Structure 1
Amino acid sequence: MLSVALCALGSVSQAGTAGAPAYVLDHTEVRDIHATALNRDYQVYVALPDSYGDGRKRYPVLFVVDANYAFPVVRNIAQRLARHAGMEEVVVVGLSYAKGDDGVFSRRRDYTPTVPRNNSYRSDMPGRKPMFGEAAAYGKFLSAEVLPMIASAYRVNMERKVFVGHSYGSLLGLQLLLSEPRTFDHYILGSPSLWYDAGIMFDRERAYAKSHRALPASVFFGIGALERLAPGKKRSRSEEDADMVEDLREFDASLKSRQFAGLKTRLRVFADEDHASVFPLVLTHGLRAYLVSSK
Structure 2
Amino acid sequence: MTVVRKLLLACCFACSLASAATPYVLDDTEVRDVHAGALNRNYQVFVALPDSYRSSNRRYPVVFVVDANYAFPVARGIAQRLAKHAGLEEAIVVGLSYAKGDSPVYSRRRDYTPSMPRGQYVSDMPGRSAAFGEAQAYGRFIAADVFPLIAAHYRADMSRKIFVGHSYGSLLGLQVLLSEPATFDHYILGSPSLWFDQGVMFDREQAYANGHKDMPASVFFGIGGRETLPANRKRSRTEENADMVADLCDFDAALKTHRYPNLKSRLEVFADEDHASVFPLVLTHGLRAYLKKVK
Band of TM-score, shorter chain: over 0.9
- The correspondence of residues 201-280 of structure 1 with structure 2, limited to 5 A, is 201-280=201-280
**In the TM superposition, what is the alpha-carbon distance from 1:138 to its structure 2 partner?**
0.5
**In the TM superposition, what is the alpha-carbon distance from 1:117 to its structure 2 partner?**
1.9
**In the TM superposition, what is the alpha-carbon distance from 1:132 to its structure 2 partner?**
0.2
**In the TM superposition, what is the alpha-carbon distance from 1:216 to its structure 2 partner?**
0.3
Gaps of 5+ in 1: 1-17
| 1:282 alignment counterpart | 282
| 2:68 alignment counterpart | 67
- The correspondence of residues 83-232 of structure 1 with structure 2, limited to 5 A, is 83-118=84-119, 120-232=120-232
Q: Distance in 2 between matches of 1:261 and 1:150?
A: 31
Q: Distance in 1 between matches of 2:156 and 2:207?
A: 34
**In the TM superposition, what is the alpha-carbon distance from 1:293 to its structure 2 partner?**
2.0
Q: Distance in 1 between matches of 2:284 and 2:121?
A: 33
**In the TM superposition, what is the alpha-carbon distance from 1:133 to its structure 2 partner?**
0.3
**In the TM superposition, what is the alpha-carbon distance from 1:124 to its structure 2 partner?**
1.1
Give the letter aligned to residue 176 of structure 1.
V
What does the per-residue CA deviation read over 1:186-233, in whole Å, with 9 as the maximum and x for residues that have no partner?
Answer: 000000000000000000000000010010000000000000011111
Q: Distance in 2 between matches of 1:19 and 1:116?
A: 48
Give the letter aligned to residue 95 of structure 1.
L
Q: Distance in 2 between matches of 1:219 and 1:50?
A: 27
What does the per-residue CA deviation read over 1:69-116, in whole Å, with 9 as the maximum and x for residues that have no partner?
Answer: 000000000001100111100000000000010000000000000000
| 1:33 alignment counterpart | 34
| 1:44 alignment counterpart | 45
| 2:80 alignment counterpart | 79
- How does the TM-score come out when normalised to structure 2? 0.93
Q: Distance in 2 between matches of 1:19 and 1:260?
A: 59
Please state which structure has a larger fraction of its residues in helix. Answer: 2
Q: Distance in 2 between matches of 1:204 and 1:52?
A: 40
Paired residue secondary structure (2:268): strand
Q: Distance in 2 between matches of 1:169 and 1:265?
A: 18
Q: Distance in 2 between matches of 1:37 and 1:261?
A: 34
Paired residue secondary structure (2:245): helix
What does the per-residue CA deviation read over 1:225-275, in whole Å, with 9 as the maximum and x for residues that have no partner?
Answer: 000011111111111110000000000000011001210000000000000
Q: Distance in 2 between matches of 1:197 and 1:121?
A: 12
| 1:12 alignment counterpart | none
Give the letter aligned to residue 202 of structure 2.
F
**In the TM superposition, what is the alpha-carbon distance from 1:136 to its structure 2 partner?**
0.7
How many residue pairs align between the two structures?
277
Aligned-residue identity in percent: 71
Give the RMSD, CA atoms, in angstroms. 0.8
Q: Distance in 2 between matches of 1:260 and 1:200?
A: 21
Q: Distance in 2 between matches of 1:31 and 1:37?
A: 18
Q: Which portions of structure 1, spanning 4 or more consecutive aligned residues, are displaced by more than 3 angstroms?
A: none
Paired residue secondary structure (2:281): helix
Q: Distance in 1 between matches of 2:175 and 2:150?
A: 21
Paired residue secondary structure (1:215): coil
Q: Distance in 1 between matches of 2:20 and 2:256?
A: 56
- How does the TM-score come out when normalised to structure 1? 0.93
Paired residue secondary structure (1:73): helix
